[in-house]
Structure 1
Amino acid sequence: MSNAFYFNLILLFLVAIIALEVLAKKLRWPPAVAQLIGGALIAFIPGLPAFEIDPALVLEVFLPPLLMAGAYYTVWHEFRRHLVAILLLAIGAVLFTTLVVGLALHSLTPALPWAACFALGAIVSPPDAIAAKAVLQRVALPRKLLVLLEGESLLNDATGLVLYKFSIVAVLTGVFSVGGALESFVWLSVGGMLLGAAFGYLVYKTIRYLHDTELMILASALPGWLCYVVGEHIGVSGVIATVTYGMMLGWHQHEIMTATARRRGTAFWEILIFVFESLVFILIGLSLRGVWERIAHADKSIADYGLEVLLVLAVVIASRFVWVFTVDGLVNLFRRQAAATHGHSSWRESFVKSWAGMRGVVTLAAALAVPAEVPGRDLMLLCAFAVILVTVLFQGTTIGWVIRLLQLKATAHERTYLNEPQTWARIEQAQYAVVQQLAYDAQGQLLHPRLLEQYGYRQSLSDKHKNEAVLPDDIRKAHFNVVLAAVAAGREELLKLHRAGEIHDALMHVMERDLDIQEIAALHSRG
């Protein structure tokens, strides 16, 4: 097929994303579910060739920006507070699932080598960051539970991919060393963190000197890919390098980026992540045809693999429940000693944590990358796809219902933070203090009376209401409704001047931008 054909195919995917997003909202499905089904239907369009996915390319293109976006918005204080619990999921649960799947599969099919069984376990063990984000952003959860699941999704891909690589090497060479594996895992993790930190430090020191907004956005986004590519090239974890860089950028972006770069950068990332997340699930659906055709030409039919597939599915789901409930139970038993790092978990939280184990692109890419000479490759492909379909279509569509059934609700942050009125009181006190100093010249003559009056009014109003839970709606809404009405009147007059040919297009866009900023600020402040 020509390059033009593939370009047209990408255009088809983008149109499909819009249609499937609308359909998902109509049916109240998670968009990931509609996109996966849509991709599968596209794959079987008559005349369309089987779509071959390069697993290494998929990981390099899609995984870094999606990981970085998740890391960028990670709340560092909460992540650090729950780091032990996150690692128990991101490392412990993945190791446990790999082990249990390997043992169960070998007991059913003793002819399959141990290493191949554990390779399949490693393929299906890590819940997917993209699938988790796509589902979790549409549900309301207790804050601690959300931090644990989002933190797990950032780190568990590294564990699964490391286990997968060691298992495949063991299958092909027949050699496996536990000590060597642990040593390599530590190096991959620490090396990844150091690499990500190095990129983060470099960006922190240089980006403030890029006075062009577009260059700032590009210079902050590009290292997300570079961390992953360089990390994989030099033999450390590209996943951990990317996550480390994303967390550093998210922490320091308030200091090093201009307000314009932040606003435009946010818009850029929102569109990019939306398109990439959607394309990932469409590509997963598209790969169904290739997997189907491979299995159809294999020595065994799909029906012959039924028992093994059902066993792997059951073990993958059940093992997460066993691990989560066991760990949470032990922590609750000794919660006095462990409360500082893990905290108390109710059985309802443990159930939702266990249910939120959707698999996705990493599982698919790992399965597709299995060398042809590895025993049981067809079984690995079929099991990987079955696990993705069941966890995304079943668990992904029902997690909201499970949360409502268990009556779990979103909670506030665990530590005591200043509320909105208290924060505004501190900000506007600082602003008023500066305006008081700059409102007079060296001789003490008042130069900016309106600014002094404006900031003095803001400071007195916020100080008056600083001990209330929220700013009074009647005062705030009335004030910003007037501001919005003034903006609307200004926009109407600007359009009249432009339509009458009295102002140039360039000035029209500049003035419109200023009115847009005023409107956005007023809408945000009004609530």
Structure 2
Amino acid sequence: MSIVLILLLAVVMSGAIARMLPLAIPRPLVQIAIGAAIGISGTFRATLEPEIFFLLFLPPLLFLDGWRIPREELLKDRTTILALALGLVLFTVLGIGLFIHWLIPAMPIAVAFALAAVISPTDPIAVSAIAQRVPIPRRMMHILEGESLLNDASGLVCLRFAVAAALTGTFSLYDAALSFLWMAIGGILIGGSVTWVVTRTKEAISRRYGEDGGSQILISLLIPFGAYLLAEAFHCSGILAAVAAGITMGFAETSGPVLAVTRIRRNTVWDMIQFAANGIIFVLLGEQLPEILAGAADTVRVTGHHTPWWLLGYVVAITLGLAALRFAWVWVAFRMTLFRQGQATATPSVRTVSAMTFAGVRGAITLAGVLTLPLATADGSAFPARDLAIFLAMGVIILSLVAGSIGLPMLLHGLQMPVDISVKADDDRARVAAAEAAIAEIERVQHSMAEGRKDADLYVAAAGRIMDEYRDRIESRSQDAETSTLARRTDKIEREMRLAALRAERTEILRKVRARKLGSETARKIIRELDHLEARYAG
């Protein structure tokens, strides 16, 4: 219990320290440093069991990524995403596996392929944290998210077969292909089915007996774990099951009504879980670092050298190899897919491809995956070069994070991706249609409420004020490009003024509470309303 509290405290401290540092150092690096300090102290030691790590952290995080990723964007760039999530992983495993075996002949080729498999998946959590101060273009972030949602499973499947080859000395491409299809298709079907069954059952109960917000939130927390465990029980991919469960959750939400207050509370709970879990992952990564470094002197002897500096050279070489393969693959993938979708040119810029290359940082999946390497082979002898593989994987994680922290902000500043011009038009049409529906409903409600009443003019006046706001929205989104641009600038100015007014209201309410001129319960109610309005205008 004490180590859990220490980890949570480290996550809280990392945010404050990252803001206080003069340089824009991303939070994951700060969290790794704090974790390393915890590990060096020796007072607290967390034994990182890969199976428990996978179960506790990956299902909810992958479920949430699948839930919140824009499904239309995912489908729109599906060719590019699949090329990165599947093709690039296989390309990386083959290329880097052969490179590692050439670089370190003492490492058996099967172990080299296993190491290549665990360092092939990228980590979107680290990318998001690195790019917090320099926004990633929306389309690029969607591609990175989609890639990372799928390449975890393909990388870990490759790891499983590489380990089996290292243990048995045999490898069957036919069996590997069949197993991959079973794991992938089975995981997707199980994850989607679990979410569909649970949400439909929940909706049926809510319609008949009413909605319980607390139960709704708890159910959403249990779905990813249920999907993951059920898929693993059938020897399918629990990772893909969690992702599929999240994507299905997004579709299910469009057909099942949920109370607004439940959605607000549920989003708050999930945001907290995401923040804490992401932070703990990187703190744990840093906490394992001192123990891995302590064995560097023994590990380097496996390579046939005598100084630990050779290990650093290997880490740099492998990281550069990963970057070179990713750059080449992204260039080809973008040229064949993304830059041929209605663009004037089919040649991606070097800057765009370089940004995608630096965004390929490694993280928690790589660490947990390499720790699953067995301790011994079938005959009881030690698994060859296991400590060396763990050290190299840890080095690649840290070096890729450092490189991304330095390179990504520079490359992302002002970077433009090919845009889909239909997105803005779709947004305008949807808002106009919603406003027209609102006006029609206000007119209906006004007549039904005012019928036969002496104060009917009050209802007419109230309805008129509300409908005027909707008509302004329709007009601002139904004009030509120049007028529409001016209207958007006016909206921005008005939004900033509304935000300033709301903050002034909140300040005055808090002043009255401090002066004991207003009760705390009334103040909380007013501030909650102001918070929701501010979130609406700030968003």
Alignment partner, residue 278 of structure 1 = 279
1:9 corresponds to 2:9 = no
| Contact 1:309–1:382 under 8 Å retained in 2 | no
Q: In the alignment, residue 372 of structure 1 is paired with which amino acid?
A: L
Q: What is the aligned length?
A: 511
Q: What is the SS of the residue equivalent to 1:194? A: helix
C-alpha distance in structure 1 between counterparts of 2:161 and 2:315, whole Å: 20
| Contact 2:150–2:240 under 8 Å retained in 1 | yes
Indicate the larger mover: 12-21 or 283-292.
Answer: 12-21
Q: CA deviation at 1:338?
A: 7.3
1:73 corresponds to 2:68 = yes
Q: CA deviation at 1:473?
A: 3.6
Alignment partner, residue 476 of structure 2 = 465
| Contact 1:76–1:247 under 8 Å retained in 2 | yes
Indicate the larger mover: 68-77 or 47-56.
Answer: 47-56
C-alpha distance in structure 2 between counterparts of 1:523 and 1:298, whole Å: 53
Q: In the alignment, residue 43 of structure 1 is paired with which amino acid?
A: G
The one-character-per-residue Cα deviations of 1:305-341 (angstroms, maximum 9, x if unpaired) are 654663454234334433443453476379897779x
1:434 corresponds to 2:441 = yes
C-alpha distance in structure 2 between counterparts of 1:117 and 1:244, whole Å: 31
The one-character-per-residue Cα deviations of 1:186-230 (angstroms, maximum 9, x if unpaired) are 111111110111022113312333411111111112111222222
Unaligned runs of 5+ in 1: 1-6
C-alpha distance in structure 2 between counterparts of 1:409 and 1:334, whole Å: 17
C-alpha distance in structure 2 between counterparts of 1:309 and 1:161, whole Å: 25
Question: In the TM superposition, what are the counterparts of 1:10-159 in structure 2 within 5 Å?
Answer: 10-25=4-19, 26=21, 27-45=23-41, 47-48=42-43, 50-159=45-154
Question: In the TM superposition, what are the counterparts of 1:374-523 in structure 2 within 5 Å?
Answer: 374-404=383-413, 407-409=414-416, 413-418=420-425, 423-441=430-448, 444-445=451-452, 448-466=459-477, 467=479, 468-469=484-485, 470=488, 472-473=490-491, 476-477=494-495, 480=498, 484=502, 488=506, 491=509, 495=513, 499=516, 508=521, 512-513=524-525, 515-521=527-533
Q: CA deviation at 1:277?
A: 0.8
Percent of residue pairs identical: 26
Alignment partner, residue 178 of structure 1 = 173
C-alpha distance in structure 1 between counterparts of 2:425 and 2:337, whole Å: 32
Q: In the alignment, residue 269 of structure 2 is paired with which amino acid?
A: F
Q: Return closer, same or farther for 1:433/1:171 CA change in 2, 3 Å cut-off.
A: same
C-alpha distance in structure 2 between counterparts of 1:9 and 1:428, whole Å: 52
| Contact 1:97–1:121 under 8 Å retained in 2 | yes
Q: CA deviation at 1:182?
A: 0.9
Q: CA deviation at 1:171?
A: 0.9
| Contact 1:204–1:252 under 8 Å retained in 2 | yes
Q: Return closer, same or farther for 1:145/1:238 CA change in 2, 3 Å cut-off.
A: same
C-alpha distance in structure 1 between counterparts of 2:3 and 2:115, whole Å: 32
Q: CA deviation at 1:89?
A: 1.1
| Contact 2:96–2:321 under 8 Å retained in 1 | no
Residue of 182, 190, 196 corresponding to 1:195: 190
Q: CA deviation at 1:294?
A: 4.0
C-alpha distance in structure 2 between counterparts of 1:180 and 1:118, whole Å: 17
C-alpha distance in structure 2 between counterparts of 1:174 and 1:368, whole Å: 21
C-alpha distance in structure 2 between counterparts of 1:443 and 1:309, whole Å: 79
CA-based RMSD of the aligned residues comes to: 3.3
Q: Return closer, same or farther for 1:262/1:150 CA change in 2, 3 Å cut-off.
A: same
